Structure 1
Amino acid sequence: MSVTHAEHAGHPHTHGADCGHPAVRHGDHTDYAHDGHLHREHSGHWDECEPAGHQQHGEHPHEHREGCGHEAVRHGDHVDYVHDGHRHAAHDGHWDDH
């Protein structure tokens, strides 16, 4: 999955362990959910961390919902669920990998 490199300009807030925003482990870095989108630190600035394209998550027998035991993170117009180091989002009868 590729990720678009889009710098988040004018981001005065520094994310960290006690910043109050949900931290989501994502591959080799941590994303922070903030105002409905995700940021990651990169080379002294903050990037928007959004996947490019549509990537369906294959076999996923678990049905995410409120109270399912996985962290829910508001992401734009939907909710992602953090599961096994990545985020899942319901989409057209299946789960997408974010």
Structure 2
Amino acid sequence: MTTEHHQHASHTHTHGPDCGHTEVPHDGHVDYAHDGHLHREHAGHWDECERDEHLRHDGHEHRHGPDCGHESVLHGDHVDYLHDGHRHAVHDGHWDDH
């Protein structure tokens, strides 16, 4: 989650286990992948759940792709892969931890 609070003011859909969107466990809560970004319930509304900083995931030897066995999630202009409770995305020859 970013250090700032980014409320998704126009989000009327209620996410939950049967809403049809991918659940992404994250820091003790669940984010939902929806329309290329992630939403998190917070204090009666939905937040955009994005990091502001770039976090490189060093030591990640596994190469994600369509047949790697990890669930993929559309995120902005790229695809993240759910792995060990967080999301990985390829970036400049390494994997980022989203």
**TM-score bracket for this pair, using the shorter chain length:** over 0.9
Gaps of 5+ in 1: none
Tell me, in whole angstroms, the C-alpha distance in 1 between the residues paired with 2:82 and 2:27: 12
Residue 73 (structure 1) aligns with: 73
TM-score (norm 1): 0.96
Matches within 5 A, 1:1-40: 3=2, 4-40=4-40
Gaps of 5+ in 2: none
Please report the RMSD computed on the Cα atoms of aligned residues, expressed in angstroms. Answer: 0.8
Aligned-pair distance for 1:94? 0.1
1:89 is displaced (CA, Å) by 0.3
TM-score, normalised to structure 2, is: 0.96
Q: Identity over aligned residues, as a percent?
A: 68
Q: Per-residue deviation at 1:11?
A: 0.8
Q: Distance in 1 between matches of 2:90 and 2:65?
A: 10
The 5-angstrom pairing of residues 50-65 of structure 1 reads 50-65=50-65
> Following superposition, which runs of at least 4 residues in structure 1 exceed 4 angstroms of deviation?
none
Aligned length, in residue pairs: 97
Match of 2:41 in 1: 41
| Partner SS for 1:60 | coil
Whole-Å separation in 1 of the counterparts to 2:86 and 2:18: 21
Instruction: Please give the alpha-carbon distance, in whole angstroms, between the structure 2 residues aligned to 1:5 and 1:72.
Output: 26
The structural deviation recorded for 1:86 is: 0.3
Q: Does 1:91 align with 2:91?
A: yes
- Separation (CA, whole Å) in 2 of partners of 1:37 and 1:90: 17
What residue identity is the alignment partner of 1:59? G
Distance 2:94 2:7 in 1: 30
Give the CA deviation at 1:10.
Answer: 1.4
